[in-house]
A and B are shown apart, each in its own frame.
Chain A
Amino acid sequence: MTSALTIERLCKTFGKGPDAVQVLDNANLEVPQGQSLALTGESGSGKSTLLHICAGLEPFDSGKVVLAGHDIADADDHARATLRRGTVGLVFQQFNLVPSLSVAANLSFQARLSGRHDPDFVAELAQRLGIAQLMSRYPEQLSGGQQQRVAIGRCLAARPRLVLADEPTGNLDEATGDAVLDLMMELAAQAGTALLLVTHSTRLASRCNARVHLRAGKLQVPV
């Protein structure tokens, strides 16, 4: 099984001198293609930092991060942007939809950026996410749950190799959160997409193929 994401001896420290905080200390991780992995940890433990490093958004001190066969340590800003456009899909806790674009335009936005826009697939996604009737609306006219479904749809419509989701259901009630996560995992599985899910919830984490816990900069497999 090929690897969507490989992390080896990853180190990241914020600050310098006595105020320095090491959030990642020789961390190792692998997410095989088509598999889901839950990343848990206390608040401030560095989960989001790890996610941002995996997306090529945040620089790191040392180690290796290989994203779909590309070592991002060597990639410049342009190459990292290309990877984010074509290989990675990001789902933010606060959705981060483009407010000036309609739901339809938001949904297809990343797919069009990556050059993999398939209108039929987008329409099918909209149906399955239950947002087909909202296509002409704007983000500000949607509820939180609806916005989150659009954000997930935007990510999946681009058929990324790896989905990085940061508390994707953190703003939703339990029932809606479960439904959204079910859908995201199902669609990811169908497309053979790997999923790295940051969550506080052990209940959600247990639904992934594997789980790692971040504590004191180390990634541990919980017993």
Chain B
Amino acid sequence: MTRAALQALLSHWVRSPFQLAMLLAGLALATALWSGVQALNTEARTAYATAESLLGGGNAARLTAPAGQIPESEFARLRRAGWDVSPVVEGRMAMGQTRVTVLGIEPLTAPAGGTSEELVAPDVTDFLAGLGFAHPQTLDEIGPRALDLRPSQAVPVGTVLMDIAQAQALLDKVGFITHLTLAPVQRDGLTPLATLAPDLRLTPPEDGADLAGLTDSFHLNLTAFGLLAFAVGLFIVHSAVGLAFEQRRTMFRTLRALGVPLRHLALLLAAELALFAVLAGVAGLALGYLMAASLLPDVAATLRGLYGAPVPGALQFNPAWAAAGMAMTLAGTALAGAQALWQLWRLPVLAPAQPRAWAHAGMRSLRLQGGVAVVLAITAVILAQTGGGLVTGFALLAAALLAAALIMPLVLAGALALGQALARGPVAQWFWADSRQNLPRLSLALMALLLALATNIGVGTMVSSFRTTFIGWLDLRLVAEVTVTPRTPSEASALQDFLQDHADAVLPTQRMDARLAGQPGQIYAMKDHATFRDSWPLLDAVPQVWDRLAAGEGVLINEQLFRRAGLRPGTAMLDLPELGGVPVLGVYPDYGNPRAQAIIGQDLFRATWPETPISQFALRSETPQALIAVIQDEFGLPSGQITDQAQAKALSMSIFERTFMITGALNVLTLSIAGIALFAALVTLSGMRLVQLAPLWALGLTTRRLAALELARALVLAGLTLLFALPVGLMLAQILLAVINVQAFGWRLPLQLFPADWARLALWAGLAVLAAAVPPAYRLWRYGPNQLLRVFAHEK
């Protein structure tokens, strides 16, 4: 019985291979997008874990000095006092054809449990003699080299691990270390560090480079877009399964009439779905892997550019990722097929074999859908009014989008009813009425199209708003024509003396790490200069802000700190180390920086932390290229240490573009999936439509005209969907800009409108819809009398 029943059920797909292909394609693409995004996230998180485990699994506290470096003698003094500390020297330098972070460790005292210990232990003699380790990708980037470097996956990308003595020599830091790591467990009865080394600052482990925490919002964004694409794919599956169910109602009735029990039939249908899910899941995983592999270099560049996170550009296969992707596919298929199975369960054995009266049942389900949409819309409003946090932001986004998608068929039904009321000719009247009647069959595909279009508009508006604001901000922030980064404090001192006579203005940058309102961040010194007074962008400020800043009467804070800590200029105070509470004078935008930041006047900074070295010089000059040449001649600085304004802007823009390249790619893929959904629905529908269209042909409408009307119907429905998608997309953009971005990155951007982008999207969507609608319309046009007459022949 099982074999015969299964054969009968599967015969539908044998006769409708295209429909099967669409179902599998929808599921495979949905899986591909979801699993591709997850592969990117998994790879990045593995890289963060690698970075953190290199030196004691991220559990080691650090001792740092405000001046940026610690004399080596301090290490010896603390060891003699019984403290289990280990020296680390760290710095950036050019190596071969790239720039790397050189990490020097002392292997005999390095904290136990770190990857470095496992790596170095077998070859400690070679390590002490000059052997280093680097990720294979880093070695490729370095190219030919003089150092003895061995490949290791345990070292983060962009880092070279070596013995501290060699690193000090390479970084020109002989006699100095960058920080000391403290073993988690220390002996009892030691002299407190505050007494022993009062100048050193203890940084708890959680304040370190918590890459996973810093990049969480970036990955959450990716996950949200992946989930959205997956949801759009599931609309296809739901639509295809639902239509196949309708087409097979006669078969179900016959099978049950012939003695196949309902439970058995339901199990067979579930097994059929599971089989499809496994087939499409495997294909989707393969596609997702390819997609992730092609996008990973851009994601890695973004993570390195934005957060300094060392992520390799090559993808590793992870079985757990594949298993999770397959589970998601099976769960999604079950969700998409649940309604069809439920309908089968409730189908009386003698139910009419004709497809149900769509207009009636469709309108009933539309009303139910409308009710759910209203509930979701109310939820979204409540979340918008009361919610906080990134997860709540995404919940708001999901509720608002789903409410819009569910309400759309009702809006379309209303528009079509209006069209019918205004129509004059019989064909026009039929066109609108028929479009309305067939709306339930197309609504899932149209909802998928709406989601794809709204996402395109929303994300496009967000990215374009961001780009416009970012470019304007860069122009203001990067006023200095040249930026010079000294390699050592002594070089900084020499440069300052030299530059006084060669640049129009010298604006030194000094900074130190500090906790700001409980968050890890940095304090910068700002020189009182017309460059900043005229150009530095401010979002909010007290009167005479620059005078007061120069006088050391307060602090400027970045937008991230302002939003997270709620520090309003004029009323709030910010606690700074050594200075106590300082009035907040203003807030400045600081796009691209995930951390809190504060700026105080240079005089106050130098008086408070006199040992802090100058990390960079911003130089004003009317002849920047000549100035760069003079500095290079005098100090022999490599090109990486001197940046002109154009280079800096280009670098910032390239990081920006790469950051949003993946959202652009997901946008295109989501729109493609929606196009396929529409195509699948129209093709499936075209077979079912023959019964409705043949009588019209018999009444005197040519197949050519009917085909044109079918095409027009698809365009009208897509056009109405696009019109509806516009406000939904702008709502999405507003949520992204005002809620998600604020929660994820800490900054808020003004919403700007880009009608040219919408026109371009409308064109693409129109082409996608035409591509989806032309084949079935063409097939209808080419139908010969034999195929059409079969409809009447079936009457006998």
Contact = CB atoms under 8 A, between A and B. Distances in A.
A81 B785 CA distance: 12
Interface stretch (B509-517, B560-568, B695-703): B695-703
Contact of B430 (A78, A94, A100): A100
Interface stretch (B38-46, B431-439, B623-631, B733-741): B431-439
Interface in A71-85: 77-78, 81-85
B695 A96 contact: yes
A138 B700 CA distance: 22
- Name the residue in B699, B705, B795 with the highest tally of chain A Cβ atoms < 10 Å from its Cβ: B699
B80 interface: no
Interface string A60-99: 0000000000000000011001111110001011101111
- Name the residue in A99, A105, A114 with the highest tally of chain B Cβ atoms < 10 Å from its Cβ: A99
Contact of A112 (B425, B434, B697, B702): B425
Contacts of A167: 795
A100 B785 contact: no
A153 to B, nearest CB: 14
Interface stretch (A50-58, A172-180, A185-193): A50-58
Interface in B701-715: 701-705
Interface in A115-174: 138, 140, 166-167
Contact of A78 (B429, B434, B702, B795): B702
Contacts of B263: none
Given A57-B788, A57-B789, A166-B792, A90 B698 contact: yes
Contact of A140 (B359, B425, B692, B792): B359
Contacts of A166: 792, 795
B430 A84 contact: no
A77 B704 contact: yes
A16 to B, nearest CB: 14
Given A48-B793, A77-B704, A109-B430, A140 B699 contact: no
A216 interface: no
A136 to B, nearest CB: 13
B426 interface: yes
B357 interface: yes
A140 B789 contact: no
A43 interface: yes
A100 B699 contact: no
Nearest to B433: A100
A92 B795 contact: yes
A176 B512 CA distance: 98
Contacts of A85: 699-701
B785 A59 contact: yes
B759 to A, nearest CB: 33
Contacts of A100: 359, 430, 433-434, 436-438
Contacts of A83: 700
A83 B705 CA distance: 15
B252 to A, nearest CB: 21
- Name the residue in B426, B694, B704, B796 with the highest tally of chain A Cβ atoms < 10 Å from its Cβ: B426
A86 B795 CA distance: 25
B758 to A, nearest CB: 32
B257 interface: no
Nearest to A101: B433
Given A43-B796, A100-B359, A105-B433, A84 B703 contact: no
A220 B212 CA distance: 91
Interface string A183-220: 00000000000000000000000000000000000000
Contacts of B430: 98, 100-101, 105, 109
Contacts of B701: 81, 85, 113
B361 to A, nearest CB: 10
Interface in A1-58: 43, 48, 52, 55, 57-58
Contacts of B360: 140
Contacts of B696: 98
Nearest to B435: A100
A10 to B, nearest CB: 16
B789 A112 contact: no
Contacts of A114: 700
Given A100-B434, A101-B430, A140-B360, A110 B699 contact: yes
A52 B792 CA distance: 10
A81 B786 CA distance: 16
A108 B698 contact: no
Contact of B703 (A52, A59, A77, A101): A77
Contact of B700 (A59, A82, A99): A82
B626 to A, nearest CB: 78
- Name the residue in A86, A140, A167 with the highest tally of chain B Cβ atoms < 10 Å from its Cβ: A140
Nearest to A76: B702
B427 interface: yes
B440 to A, nearest CB: 12
A48 B790 CA distance: 11
Interface string B172-192: 000000000000000000000
Contacts of B436: 100
Given A52-B792, A93-B795, A99-B359, A77 B702 contact: yes
A9 B695 CA distance: 28
A52 B789 CA distance: 8
Nearest to A102: B433
A48 B786 CA distance: 13
A167 B434 CA distance: 27
A56 to B, nearest CB: 9
B795 A138 contact: no
Contacts of A77: 702-704
Given A78-B702, A109-B430, A99 B692 contact: yes
- Name the residue in B430, B701, B703, B793 with the highest tally of chain A Cβ atoms < 10 Å from its Cβ: B430
Nearest to A111: B426
A77 B788 CA distance: 14
Interface string B320-357: 00000000000000000000000000000000000001
A111 B796 CA distance: 27
Nearest to A55: B698
Contacts of B793: 48
B359 A138 contact: yes
B426 A94 contact: no
B785 A57 contact: yes
Contacts of B433: 98, 100-101, 105
Contacts of B699: 84-85, 90, 109-110, 113
A180 to B, nearest CB: 17
Given A57-B789, A99-B359, A100-B359, A84 B700 contact: yes
Interface string B765-786: 0000000000000000000011
B292 to A, nearest CB: 46
Contacts of B425: 112
B795 A81 contact: no
A112 B700 CA distance: 12
Contacts of A101: 429-430, 433
A112 B425 CA distance: 7
Contacts of B359: 99-100, 138, 140
B698 A94 contact: no
Given A105-B433, A113-B427, A92 B702 contact: no
B434 A84 contact: no
Interface in B257-280: none
B698 A57 contact: yes
Given A55-B698, A94-B792, A105-B430, 18 more contacts: A48-B792, A48-B793, A48-B796, A57-B698, A58-B786, A58-B789, A85-B701, A92-B795, A93-B795, A96-B695, A99-B359, A105-B426, A108-B426, A109-B699, A112-B425, A112-B426, A166-B792, A166-B795
Interface of B: 357, 359-360, 425-427, 429-430, 433-434, 436-438, 692, 694-705, 785-786, 788-789, 792-793, 795-796
8 contacts: A48-B796, A52-B789, A78-B704, A90-B698, A92-B695, A98-B696, A110-B699, A166-B792
- Across chains A and B, which 6 residue pairs bring their CB atoms closest together, nearest first? A85-B700, A96-B695, A112-B426, A100-B437, A100-B433, A84-B700
